[in-house]
Chain A
């Protein structure tokens, strides 16, 4: 996956978001081992210290845990992952509703349009 970092926000918070995404989308499944800080930093072309900071933040959030000898793992707590996933989904939905409202659709109309578009896509 390509790391997409914008230039006007702190790098570390963007890294946190993107790793969250990698975990909830199952690219890094529950209980799996994460690449080393250096490899991750190399992949994203960012400073290893910044990557370290982002991972520490995710550890605080309970998404990652460290085993002293063998490295860093994604949590086995699937519920916690689902919770984060739901949070992210809710954020996207809120944004969607907000945007639709700006276009002049109310919630009901927006949902109808959503269903219709989804059907057509299938």
Chain B
């Protein structure tokens, strides 16, 4: 099984709109992939489908050859757009929670990263700023030794220093066997760390390519190409 993620004629209808229009897509193992598109293009829908949070209208989505379910949740580490941490818990509690439920959770790694970030793990999450909470959540997600990381807008709405921290954390924890999919519309910031990009617009896959191919063939950055493709 070489593909970690595979979509076959994947369609998702919401009551009032078509979020994904017969998407066919394969993402191989061992890549950092950017899922790029403007707001409302279907990025989050695709990621939610991969996490079994919503059900496809028709077609299939497969993770390591399996339909989303308990077995895929064991190998997928997901960073949603929202912060989902329980306010009343301490960071220590959250680490306990993650290592209770996820067998691939690496406690040592989590404590290492927290120490580097200077977060006291016995603090309650309630006392932390939104930015710190987001970083703690990223640390929890990246401390799993998963096969697929799905990061939904990990750098949206954070300051440039935090952005660098997040990207460095992603690179620093990268395991050549695993695939990381990063959904974002802030392309200039992420393109250096991507192998491949997927352009998505209005529920359709517009382009799949490697970053260096785009730069070599088009003589422009992915960001510049994106602006061209999605010009309003």
A-to-B contact residues, CB < 8 Å = 5, 7-12, 38, 41-42, 44-50
Contacts and interface: CB of A to CB of B under 8 A. Distances in A.
A66 to B, nearest CB: 16
A44 B191 CA distance: 13
Interface residues of B, number: 25
B216 interface: yes
B195 A38 contact: no
Most buried by B among A7, A8, A10, A47: A47
B192 A47 contact: yes
A2 to B, nearest CB: 13
Given A7-B223, A11-B211, A11-B215, A49 B171 contact: no
A48 B192 contact: no
B188 interface: yes
B194 A47 contact: yes
B89 interface: no
B32 A8 contact: no
A5 B188 CA distance: 12
A101 B141 CA distance: 57
Contacts of A7: 188, 191, 220-221, 223-224
B207 interface: no
B168 A9 contact: no
Contacts of A47: 32, 171, 192-195, 211
A13 to B, nearest CB: 8
A44 B167 CA distance: 11
B219 A8 contact: yes
B174 interface: yes
B193 A45 contact: yes
